[in-house]
């Protein structure tokens, strides 16, 4: 892990040197080159392996593993499950994304309280969270699978509609909605290109590469984290982890990405 | 940002929400407000009143940023009334300080200390100095602004007021109301005005 982080830092240093005296176009090309380099040496697989171990490890008051966790395709079926999430679960009566569903499995199978299961969901470079490892593992088991998120059930359709409404809702100190940054084609913040997540093209490319390993911070970030940090930058209060609002936004993006092949966990700047 | 929107009883809202969950209609603004107040919590300086919309935010949301012209003009006029110009009549600060403010994206998030200096986040969305390759494109390029628009009293008043309350000039602009929202101080807005307009500023080179 240390060696990988070191090489990422070297790549970043090389980029900084190369980009110093040049134009925006040159900088953009350098960034694209850097993105290719980092993708090739991405440590995402290590997260997936660690997550697979955690999945099988007995834990919690019930000393049970997550191997019987039902991610929507039956207990224990992991392959392809992520490409169909979020979805409605009859046992909880809720539409759930991967992370809120994992919390359900930790409480029902392992006997943790919800508070215990969500105590430390966002880790750091030195100490990633169990949730990050697990999310990487489960998502990785849908690599190559077509996104096929259902809105057939009324609860699923209602969740999509709520997500869409939230996406365009302007509020906060700076009057931002999600669409302020992700609503118009061809825009960027600083040098970072902004996908239009309300349209299939933008949603497909982006959603299918999350969760993602972020090179600049040497961490694997989950979709719940991504939404949380967007709201921080929107100058909003904080959304609760796995809340209906965050699942609804995930649903909106996931459905917009339908038909694309899932290709994550990806590697980000 | 303390405007209160329509108040309905929570019970009625919860009832409306329960029905809406199984209806195919899109959620109403009131239902959305219930979800936001239930699913979000205050953190640091980010208090819950921030999820409630004022008239501008609500109209722009409801019309997908394309409000009817008459309403747009009326609300823009209201917004212009919120602009407080510096009492000393001097709108041009120090462009060098302005450059730092333009480059900083700090401020107003739950991680930012309320008493720390905020940035203007200008470079996140605008090109300013042609020598700075890292700029966003959500807003228009402001490179050589003074060459195009002059740097006299009228230009100064416009730039300062635009920074203070961008919605006074384009109601559903994505640009934050930096003075109105309490993000930037009078001195910071003067420094930014100078950064955009001072002939010595790199923006105009």
A185-219 pLDDT per residue, tens: 999 999 999 999 999 999 999 999 999 999 999 99
- The whole-number pLDDT of residue B157 equals 98
Rounded to 5 degrees, φ, ψ at A112 are: -75, 155
The alpha carbon of A175 is separated from its chain's Cα centroid by a whole number of angstroms, namely 25
pLDDT at A181 over 90: yes
- B 147-176 residues inside an 8 A Cβ radius of A: 167, 174, 176
Cβ contacts of A157 within 8 Å, gap of 6 or more? A151, B24
CA distance A77 to A80: 8
Residue that is written with structure tokens 């930058």 in the block: A233
Q: Are residues A159 and A248 in contact, defined by beta-carbon separation less than 8 angstroms?
A: yes
- Of A59 and A19, more confident: A59
- The DSSP code for B202 is G
> Over A121-143, what HEC string results?
CCCCCCCCCHHHHHHHHHHHCCC
Whether residue B178 sits in one domain with residue B121? yes
Per-residue model confidence as pLDDT tens digits over A142-155? 999 999 999 999 99
- The whole-number pLDDT of residue A32 equals 77
- The whole-number pLDDT of residue A214 equals 93
- The whole-number pLDDT of residue B15 equals 43
pTM of the model: 0.89
Whether residue B141 sits in one domain with residue B48? no
pLDDT at B20 over 60: no
CATH of domain A43-268: 1.10.760.10
Is B174 within 8 Å of A176 when comparing Cβ atoms? yes
- The whole-number pLDDT of residue A269 equals 82
User: Least CB-CB distance to A154: which of B24, B35, B53?
Assistant: B24
Residue B194: CATH number of its domain: 1.10.760.10
Whether residue B177 sits in one domain with residue B99? yes
The alpha carbon of A33 is separated from its chain's Cα centroid by a whole number of angstroms, namely 23
> Domain of B18?
10-52
If pLDDT is split at 50, 70 and 90, which confidence band does A117 have?
Answer: very high
Residue B181, preceding peptide bond in cis (omega within 30° of 0):
no
Partner B contacted by A27 (CB < 8 A): yes
pLDDT at A58 over 50: yes
Per-residue model confidence as pLDDT tens digits over A79-107? 999 999 999 999 999 999 999 999 999 99
As for the ipTM of the complex, it is 0.88
Q: Among B1-5, B39-43, B85-89, B193-197, whose mean pLDDT is lowest?
A: B1-5
- The whole-number pLDDT of residue A256 equals 98
Whether residue B198 sits in one domain with residue B99? yes
Whether residue B167 sits in one domain with residue B115? yes
Residue B75 within a domain:
no
Is B176 within 8 Å of A19 when comparing Cβ atoms? no
CA distance A69 to A96: 13
Q: How many domains does chain B have?
A: 2
Average pLDDT over residues B83-100: 98
CA nearest neighbour of B64 among A89, A167, A118: A167
Average pLDDT over residues B190-205: 98
| A171 neighbourhood in chain B, CB within 8 Å | 50-53, 57
CA distance B109 to A221: 20
Residue B2 within a domain:
no
Whether residue B135 sits in one domain with residue B41? no
If pLDDT is split at 50, 70 and 90, which confidence band does A33 have?
Answer: confident
| B143 neighbourhood in chain A, CB within 8 Å | none
Partner B contacted by A239 (CB < 8 A): yes
If pLDDT is split at 50, 70 and 90, which confidence band does A29 have?
Answer: confident
Cα→Cα distances A195→A159, A199, A211, A246, B175, Å: 22, 9, 16, 18, 19
Residue B19 within a domain:
yes
If pLDDT is split at 50, 70 and 90, which confidence band does B22 have?
Answer: very low
Q: Among A2-6, A133-137, B38-42, B156-160, whose mean pLDDT is lowest?
A: A2-6
Residue B5 within a domain:
no
If pLDDT is split at 50, 70 and 90, which confidence band does A23 have?
Answer: low
Residue B100 within a domain:
yes
pLDDT at A164 over 90: yes
CA nearest neighbour of A166 among A184, A182, A152: A182
Calculate what percentage of chain A has a pLDDT beyond 90. Answer: 83
Average pLDDT over residues A33-41: 72
Average pLDDT along chain A? 91
């Amino acid at each position: 892990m240390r060696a990988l982080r070191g090489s990422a830092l070297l790549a970043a240093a090389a980029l900084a040197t190369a980009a110093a005296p040049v134009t925006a176009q040159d900088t953009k090309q350098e960034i694209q080159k850097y993105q290719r380099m980092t993708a090739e040496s991405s440590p995402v697989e290590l997260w997936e392996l660690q997550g697979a171990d955690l999945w099988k490890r007995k834990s919690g008051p019930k000393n049970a593993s997550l191997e019987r966790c039902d991610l929507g395709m039956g207990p224990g079926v992991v392959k392809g499950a992520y490409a169909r999430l979020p979805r409605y679960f009859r046992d909880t009566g809720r539409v759930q994304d991967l992370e809120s569903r994992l919390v359900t499995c930790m409480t029902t199978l392992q006997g943790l309280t919800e508070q215990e299961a969500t105590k430390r969901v966002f880790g750091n470079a030195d100490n990633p969270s169990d949730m990050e490892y697990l999310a990487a593992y489960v998502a990785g088991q849908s690599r190559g699978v077509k996104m096929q998120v259902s809105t057939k059930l009324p609860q699923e359709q209602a969740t999509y509609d709520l997500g869409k409404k939230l996406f365009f809702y302007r509020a906060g100190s700076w009057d931002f909605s999600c669409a302020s940054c992700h609503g118009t084609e061809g825009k960027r913040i600083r040098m970072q290109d902004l996908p239009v997540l309300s349209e299939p093209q933008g949603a497909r490319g982006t959603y299918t590469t999350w969760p993602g390993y972020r090179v600049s911070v040497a961490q694997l970030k989950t979709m719940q984290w991504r939404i949380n940090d967007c709201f921080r930058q929107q100058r909003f209060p904080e959304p609760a982890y796995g809340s209906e609002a965050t699942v609804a936004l995930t649903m909106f993006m996931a459905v917009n990405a339908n038909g694309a092949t899932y290709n994550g966990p990806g590697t980000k700047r | 940002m303390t405007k209160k929107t329509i108040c309905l009883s929570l019970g009625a809202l919860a009832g409306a929400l329960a029905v809406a969950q199984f209806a195919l209609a899109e959620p109403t603004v009131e239902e959305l407000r219930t979800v936001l107040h239930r699913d979000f919590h205050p953190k640091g300086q980010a208090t819950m009143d921030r999820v409630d919309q004022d008239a501008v935010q609500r109209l722009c949301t409801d019309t997908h940023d394309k409000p009817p012209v008459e309403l747009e003009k009326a609300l823009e006029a209201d917004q212009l009334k919120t602009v407080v110009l510096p009492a000393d009549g001097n709108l041009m600060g120090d462009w060098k300080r302005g450059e730092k403010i333009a480059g900083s994206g700090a401020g107003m998030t739950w991680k930012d200390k309320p008493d720390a200096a905020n940035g203007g986040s200008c470079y996140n969305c605008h090109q300013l100095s042609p020598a700075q390759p890292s700029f966003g494109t959500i807003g228009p390029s402001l490179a050589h602004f003074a060459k195009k628009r002059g740097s006299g009293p009228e230009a100064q008043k416009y730039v300062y007021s635009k920074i203070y309350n961008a919605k006074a000039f384009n109601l559903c602009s994505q640009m934050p109301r930096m003075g109105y929202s309490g993000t930037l101080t009078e001195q910071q807005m003067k420094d930014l005005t100078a950064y955009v307009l001072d002939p010595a500023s790199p923006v105009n080179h």
